[in-house]
């Protein structure tokens, strides 16, 4: 797909929706196309009825269709925000962490500490940085998400068609996702599956917290297996069958194996012990993806364990690695 020219916003302008843009919510589409125009300004224009689709007032949730004509009012762009200064450097940094790319998607090795998108006072996240680096004419959308403190494989769609396909594969459990985590406790016995429904709640101030709730929660399944055993802790792999918010962290804690460095669902004494050994982040890493391709084959992408996590393992008593095996294809459909 060839890049689209950036929108002219100094005067009234019109955008005709193409096949790649069709099906998107108008608010999300404009956020990705209008560069450094603040989200608040885009939503204000929508509330005031200044953005119209085929002559009719658009609401934020309105989805555009191919050949729709979107009318935009004159928009005064902000001066480049302070948060964006140096974004070229950050963009180059992320470009250097791309593990796989084709015409439809890319997989980036997300560093810990970087949010996948802006919000809650954070102006630029990973997706905004990549969009800024590649220019407004390029379609880039998150196919899924990782917590801010989680590192590893993250899929980004490069077209609306690809985004729909990836979302369908994720819903059907056809994309294999494997994580590595260091947890408190000595894992004994065989592989273990945790099937406990999860409910997401908002605390005062807007902080999200997730808890096990078999009656009111959403179905969630995680498959855990031992990779290495240490004194008082275990390196585990976790294959996801569903993709709920904080799923691995909550399921691990619920099973009695809280993750090292987890300030929300972890165990304080264990966290202090790990901190003394040099751990300064959540020990959770998206190690591997298996993605079905349209050719009928499956592509495997892997991210090595970051050096700061390998360093922590190096301080623990040595043990023999256990073969990981193929990533579990957790869903009902295979490809």
Q: Which residues are catalytic?
A: 147
Count the residues in the chain. Answer: 335
Quick check: helix, strand or coil at residue 299?
strand
Query: What is the distance of C-alpha 104 from the center of its chain?
Result: 17
Q: What angle do CA 168, 295, 139 make, to 5 degrees?
A: 55
214 within 8 A of 229, measured Cβ to Cβ = no
* Alpha helix stretches (DSSP H) within the chain: 26-33, 39-47, 87-95, 126-134, 160-171, 247-254, 268-276, 307-314
Report CA Rg, the chain: 22
- Name residues whose C-beta falls within 8 Å of residue 242's C-beta, 6 or more positions apart in sequence: 173, 218, 219, 220, 221, 222, 330
């Amino acid at each position: 797909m060839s890049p689209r020219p950036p929108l002219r916003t100094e005067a009234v302008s019109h955008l005709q929706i193409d096949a790649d843009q069709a099906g998107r919510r108008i608010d999300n589409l404009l956020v990705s196309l209008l560069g450094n125009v603040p989200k608040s300004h885009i939503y204000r224009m929508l509330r005031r009825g200044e953005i119209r689709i085929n002559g009719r007032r658009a609401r934020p949730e309105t989805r555009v269709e191919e050949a729709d004509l979107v009318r935009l009012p004159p928009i005064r762009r902000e001066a480049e925000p302070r948060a964006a200064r140096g974004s070229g450097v950050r963009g180059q940094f992320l470009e250097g962490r791309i593990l796989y790319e084709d015409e439809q998607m890319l997989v980036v090795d997300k560093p810990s500490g970087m949010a996948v998108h802006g919000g809650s006072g954070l102006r630029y996240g990973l997706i905004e940085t990549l969009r800024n680096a590649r220019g407004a004419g390029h379609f880039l959308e998150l196919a899924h998400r990782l917590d801010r403190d989680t590192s590893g494989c993250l899929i980004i769609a490069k077209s609306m068609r690809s985004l729909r396909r990836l979302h369908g594969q994720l819903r059907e459990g056809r994309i294999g996702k494997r994580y590595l985590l260091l947890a408190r406790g000595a894992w004994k016995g065989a592989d273990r599956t945790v099937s406990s429904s999860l409910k997401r709640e908002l605390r005062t101030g807007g902080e999200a917290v997730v808890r096990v709730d078999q009656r009111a929660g959403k179905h969630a399944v995680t498959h855990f297996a031992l990779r290495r055993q240490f004194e008082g802790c275990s390196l585990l792999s976790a294959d996801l069958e569903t993709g709920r918010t904080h799923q691995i962290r909550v399921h691990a804690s619920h099973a009695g194996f809280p993750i090292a460095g987890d300030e929300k669902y972890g165990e304080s004494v264990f966290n202090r012990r790990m901190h003394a050994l040099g751990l300064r982040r959540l020990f959770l890493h998206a190690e591997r993806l298996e993605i079905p391709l349209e050719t009928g084959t499956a592509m495997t992408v892997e991210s090595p364990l970051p050096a700061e996590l390998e360093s922590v393992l190096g301080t623990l008593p040595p043990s023999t690695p256990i073969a990981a095996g193929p990533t579990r294809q957790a869903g009902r459909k295979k490809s």
